[in-house]
Amino acid sequence: MNLPYQLFIALRYLRSKKKHKGISVNTLISVGGVAVGVMALLVVLSVMSGFHEDLQKKILGVNAHMVIISYKGIISDYKNVNEGLKSDKDIIASAPFILGQVMVAYGKRAHGVYLRGINPETEIKTTEIGKFMKEGTLAKLTSGNGIPGIILGKELAGSLGVFQGDVINILSPVGKIGPLGMLPKIKQFRVVGIFEVGMFEYDSNLVLTDIGAAQEFFDMKKDITGIQLRLTDIYKASLVRERIQKELAFPLYAKDWMQMNRNLFSALKLEKFAMFIILILIILVASFNIVSTLIMNVMEKKREIAILKAMGATDSGIMNIFMLQGMFIGVVGTIIGVTGGYLLCYILNTYEIIKLPADVYYLSHLPVKTKFIDFVTVSLSAVIISFLATIYPAWQAAKMNPVEPLRYE
């Protein structure tokens, strides 16, 4: 199969002028520039995607996909509301919960936390908190001997110096009014388990207990704070919420996981887009190498271009030669960058080389998630930029007058 003369000449121009048929230094620098730009962009986008997915996984592991709560702060007719949700095909399971702020005290140490009252049997159907248990199980919350059970996060247990089996005090700022004013309510709980989500906010600020013990502690009788729901598709949460909201009577209302964490995920999405725009500049800088390489080639090959035109080569044919040369640099650089980026992402994700302080970044290591759409977007961007970089040098070569270089031959 015969190659078009434009492709043959373009490949020939990539080589060194020396007798050794190697690749020219300028070509290698141009290819390397594109490769480094593509690799850097892919790694950063994969890390941003990893942060987004890891946070989403941990947030949805501890919290439900959607909650139904009340403007009054409590829901009294829980069973009637729950019955109305069972017929919804988008809802897999539902569970009641109680949530309130309390103080955990052990010895001379104390820490403010959120106390969540749950039903262990229905909790495992709506959240994945059971999968994060390091010691004990959710079922032990209901197997107390006089003293109700409680489950703490690993960071909280470490800061308090608490181990499984220890008895801690839970204090509520809202209590009974005595002669000296408001008296805080204090109740003892036995630590029956410790969980570790890997997200500092939850591991240090959340404790779990049985819903009955929470109702008694907060004097809520049979009332609850809300109903948490697990959906068939988390990305349809907003649509399901809007539909359920129309069916709920005031003062009840629904909130989905995207609403409850909108600021965090919006910031991550904006940051990923900003990093894409900033790092695409690396590929733009690499494209200048392509422009300079082609311009130098055009200046060096004036005589060859004149001979080609004298032999009948058209202006479009000359343009194709130098555009193919630049495209070859861009495509090869992109392939090397994509391969290197994928390998680096694989190494970072598999071996967790980069560790992070969990109290600052909410994560214990640098998460990496490779997405096909990111690789396609970056590859197309690099190839398009490389193509645009070839237009001016190729146009300069095509408009060259063949008479001048051959005048003194």
> Tens of pLDDT along 23-41?
578 888 889 999 999 999 9
Q: Do you know the residue count of the chain?
A: 409
**Interval 142-188: pLDDT, tens:** 876 778 999 999 999 999 999 998 999 999 877 666 566 566 788 99
Confidence of residue 405 (pLDDT cuts 50, 70, 90): low
Helix/strand/coil (H/E/C) assignment for every residue in 129-193: HHHHEEECCHHHHHCCCCCCEEEEEHHHHHHHCCCCCCEEEEEEEEEEEECCEEEEEEEEEEEEE
Contact residues for 268 (Cβ-Cβ < 8 A; gap 6+): 48, 51, 52, 55
Helix (H) or strand (E) holding 113: strand 109-118
Please report, for residues 107, 172, 174, 175, 180, the alpha-carbon distance to residue 183 in angstroms, rounded to integers and kept in the order given: 20, 9, 8, 5, 8
State the pLDDT at residue 133.
Answer: 93
Give domain limits for the chain.
5-59+264-406, 72-249
- pTM as predicted: 0.76
Residue that the structure tokens 């709920």 belong to: 248
State the pLDDT at residue 81.
Answer: 85
CA distance 252 to 117: 20
CA distance 301 to 295: 10
Please state, as a whole number, how many other Cβ atoms lie within 10 Å of the Cβ of residue 259. 13
- Between 315-351 and 25-62, two packed helices, what is the crossing angle to 10 degrees? 40
Q: What is the mean pLDDT of residues 228-244?
A: 91
State the pLDDT at residue 355.
Answer: 82
State the pLDDT at residue 180.
Answer: 60
Confidence of residue 1 (pLDDT cuts 50, 70, 90): very low
Structure-token pair, residue 299: 């200046």
Q: What is the mean pLDDT of residues 115-127?
A: 92
CA distance 192 to 140: 6
CA distance 171 to 215: 14
Q: What is the mean pLDDT of residues 358-386?
A: 86
Query: Do the Cβ atoms of 286 and 30 come closer than 8 Å?
Result: yes
> In this model, does residue 235 exceed pLDDT 70?
yes
Closest to 385 measured CA to CA, from 334, 337, 310: 334
State the pLDDT at residue 198.
Answer: 79
State the pLDDT at residue 175.
Answer: 63
CA distance 96 to 92: 14
**Interval 178-216: pLDDT, tens:** 566 566 788 999 999 999 987 888 999 999 999 999 998
Structure-token pair, residue 269: 């999405």
State the pLDDT at residue 20.
Answer: 43
Confidence of residue 370 (pLDDT cuts 50, 70, 90): very high
Handedness of CA 86, 89, 92, 94 (dihedral sign): negative
> In this model, does residue 2 exceed pLDDT 80?
no
State the pLDDT at residue 377.
Answer: 93
> In this model, does residue 47 exceed pLDDT 60?
yes
CA distance 9 to 313: 12
Q: What is the mean pLDDT of residues 300-328?
A: 86
Q: What is the mean pLDDT of residues 238-243?
A: 91
CA distance 185 to 264: 35
DSSP codes joined into one string, 246-312: HHSPTTEEEEEHHHHTHHHHHHHHHHHHHHHHHHHHHHHHHHHHHHHHHHHHHHHTHHHHHHHHHTT
Helix (H) or strand (E) holding 316: helix 315-351
- CB-count exposure of residue 231 (10 Å: 0-12, 13-18, 19+): buried
Helix (H) or strand (E) holding 58: helix 25-62
Residue that the structure tokens 């009252």 belong to: 117
> In this model, does residue 238 exceed pLDDT 80?
yes
Query: Do the Cβ atoms of 126 and 184 come closer than 8 Å?
Result: no
> Which of 65-79, 279-293, 360-374, 378-392 comes out lowest in average pLDDT?
360-374
> In this model, does residue 376 exceed pLDDT 90?
yes
> In this model, does residue 345 exceed pLDDT 90?
yes
- Between 262-300 and 372-398, two packed helices, what is the crossing angle to 10 degrees? 30
State the pLDDT at residue 3.
Answer: 52
